[in-house]
Amino acid sequence: MKSIEQIAQELQGYDPQALSAAQVNEFLARLVHTVADTETVPVPQALGRVLSADVISPVSVPPHDNSAMDGFAFAGAALDNAAGQPLTLRVVGTAYAGKAWRGSVRAGECVKIMTGAIMPEGLDTVVPLEFVQVAGEQITCPAGVMRPGDNRRLLGEDLMQGQPALRRGDRLGPAALGLLASLGQPAVQVFRRLKVAYFSTGDEILSLGEAPREGAVYDSNRYTVFGLLTRLGVEVVDLGVVGDSPERLEAAFREAASVADAIITSGGVSMGEADHTKAMMRQLGDVAFWRIAMRPGRPMAVGRIGAAGEGGAVLFGLPGNPVAVMVTFLAFVRPALLQMMGARAEAPVLLKARSAEALRKKPGRTEYQRGHVAPNVQGELHVTLTGNQGSGVLRSMVEANGLIVLHHGQGNVAPGDWVDVMMFDGVV
């Protein structure tokens, strides 16, 4: 396991006092490692978990050619024989879903068929009920509405037996659960759930239920971090608010490192702060203190807390302002935690939208501004700022549905310019 110094030496242009957002993510990708332990869980409990092994399909899906429609199955060659004229066929039976129809079909005949029913032998085309005229035991299909092979689902069209259905590192969503069920898989092998401990620091922080006092503020960070971690699907360990005393901080860090894979703190990492948080981080672990070229955010601590030689827990020391906590989590901590969970590395999906207003931006730092994306009357996506962009203003974060990402080298934005937006849906 590499030290902070070793990782820093591997990064070109590493300067802890002026890191770009891209450098932060590159550093963290080298710092963290996937948990080793795995477990097998029932499919209904696997939502959000990460596969620890490929899932190989034990069957073909679908297991036979079948009808995609309620209609009439026939041999598609009859369409060629009709030479562009309406096609008349005699109905000789009905095929239902769940069992094979065992009759035989000759030229000029068809079988009424239900959606999902096995295609009778020799038949490859289904005309939907609504396309035909029925007269007793005969149907007539208009010319020009069908082609051979229409409305037939092929054996193995979704998956062929022996092929990978899902890959190691896939994070299982609702569709993946359905896919596993379609293979008859009652359980699946996943990485164990990541454990993340978190606490806020500062004598001025009040927990909910405490009486107000002069100069103190209620802790919002623990609840936003709790929400973000819960959305991510990790096991959360809330250690509360820890005051600015060396004894309390040491006890909190040691407890967190003993029970968790990662530790998140908020507050106490800014340059020149008078509290004991940074000193305790240095004392108990291998930690770097950064100033990141970003807004909001900037101060951040990263490293490991724990006994030397044992690896310890990965530390993410976030700034104290509420919006800065959320932005640094989304931009840096979330991707790192996903890597620890075993998920394959993927860049965040950025949506393109036109800025509804001018945005001031100097090149040389990445800015994350709170915005609301919506279509205009022409159906084109526009994004509008949600108000005060101060790093302590949570209201504008609540009203936003994404972060406008103004990249490191980007300058001012004029009204109507395209910008990237990191959407919150499913994340926040």
Residue 67 in contact with residue 113, Cβ under 8 Å?
Answer: yes
* Residues 199 and 291 occupy one common structural domain: yes
Helix residue ranges per DSSP H, 117-220: 174-182
* Residues 260 and 312 occupy one common structural domain: yes
* Residues 53 and 75 occupy one common structural domain: no
* Residues 212 and 294 occupy one common structural domain: yes
Give me the CATH number covering residue 84: 2.170.190.11
* Residues 23 and 46 occupy one common structural domain: no
Interval 226-252 mean pLDDT: 94
Q: Which residue has the tokens 């009439």?
A: 72
Q: What is the pLDDT of residue 271?
A: 62
- Segments forming the whole domain that contains residue 76: 66-153
Highest mean pLDDT among 80-89, 168-177, 274-283, 304-313: 168-177
pLDDT at 287 > cutoff 80:
yes
Partners of 139 in the β-ladder: 89, 134
Domain contains 18: yes
pLDDT at 309 > cutoff 50:
no
Residue 292 in contact with residue 21, Cβ under 8 Å?
Answer: yes
Residue that finishes a domain, picked among 341, 372, 402: 341
Structure tokens at 153: 């689902």
Residue that finishes a domain, picked among 324, 341, 358: 341
Give me the CATH number covering residue 161: 3.90.105.10
Domain contains 359: yes
Domain contains 428: no
* Residues 224 and 183 occupy one common structural domain: no
* Residues 238 and 327 occupy one common structural domain: yes
pLDDT at 274 > cutoff 60:
no
User: At residue 108, what are phi and psi to the nearest 5 degrees?
Assistant: 85, 5
User: At residue 236, what are phi and psi to the nearest 5 degrees?
Assistant: -100, 140
Domain contains 295: yes
Beta-sheet strands, E only, within 96-234? 109-113, 125-128, 133-135, 138-141, 152-153, 164-166, 187-191, 195-201, 205-206, 217-218
Structure tokens at 399: 């009203």
Q: What is the pLDDT of residue 272?
A: 57
Please give the distance of CA 161 from its chain centroid, rounded to a whole number: 28
Residue 336 in contact with residue 27, Cβ under 8 Å?
Answer: no
Q: pLDDT tier at 82 (50, 70, 90 boundaries)?
A: confident
Q: How many domains does the chain have?
A: 4
| Selection from 146, 151, 140, 150 nearest residue 110 by Cα | 140
* Residues 234 and 261 occupy one common structural domain: yes
Domain contains 30: yes
* Residues 292 and 213 occupy one common structural domain: yes
| Selection from 130, 126, 128, 129 nearest residue 149 by Cα | 126
| Selection from 96, 139, 137 nearest residue 114 by Cα | 96
* Residues 187 and 304 occupy one common structural domain: no
Give me the CATH number covering residue 419: 2.40.340.10
Distance CA 269, CA 289 (A): 7
pLDDT at 257 > cutoff 80:
yes
Domain contains 213: yes
> Tens digits of per-residue pLDDT, 183-198?
999 999 999 999 999 9
Q: pLDDT tier at 308 (50, 70, 90 boundaries)?
A: very low
Q: What is the pLDDT of residue 215?
A: 85
> Tens digits of per-residue pLDDT, 333-392?
999 999 999 999 887 889 999 999 999 999 999 999 999 999 988 889 999 999 999 999
Q: Which amino acid is at 113?
A: I
Structure tokens at 216: 């103190």
* Residues 57 and 75 occupy one common structural domain: no
Residue that finishes a domain, picked among 280, 308, 341: 341
Mean pLDDT of the chain: 93
Domain contains 294: yes
Calculate the alpha carbon distances from 22 to 292, 294, 391 in Å: 10, 11, 21
* Residues 255 and 299 occupy one common structural domain: yes
Walk across the sheet containing 87-95 and list its strands.
125-128, 71-74, 109-113, 87-95, 138-141, 133-135
Q: Helix or strand or coil: residue 210?
A: coil
How are beta strands 313-318 and 66-67 bridged, if at all?
unpaired
Distance CA 360, CA 372 (A): 18
DSSP 117-135: PBPPTT--EEEEGGG-EEE
> Tens digits of per-residue pLDDT, 84-121?
899 999 999 999 999 999 999 999 999 999 999 999 99
Q: Which residue has the tokens 């001031």?
A: 360
Q: What percent of the chain has pLDDT over 90?
A: 85
Q: What is the pLDDT of residue 347?
A: 79
Q: pLDDT tier at 245 (50, 70, 90 boundaries)?
A: confident
Distance CA 176, CA 48 (A): 10
Residue 193 in contact with residue 207, Cβ under 8 Å?
Answer: no
Give me the CATH number covering residue 219: 3.40.980.10
Q: Helix or strand or coil: residue 49?
A: coil
pTM: 0.89
pLDDT at 310 > cutoff 70:
no
Residue 265 in contact with residue 219, Cβ under 8 Å?
Answer: no
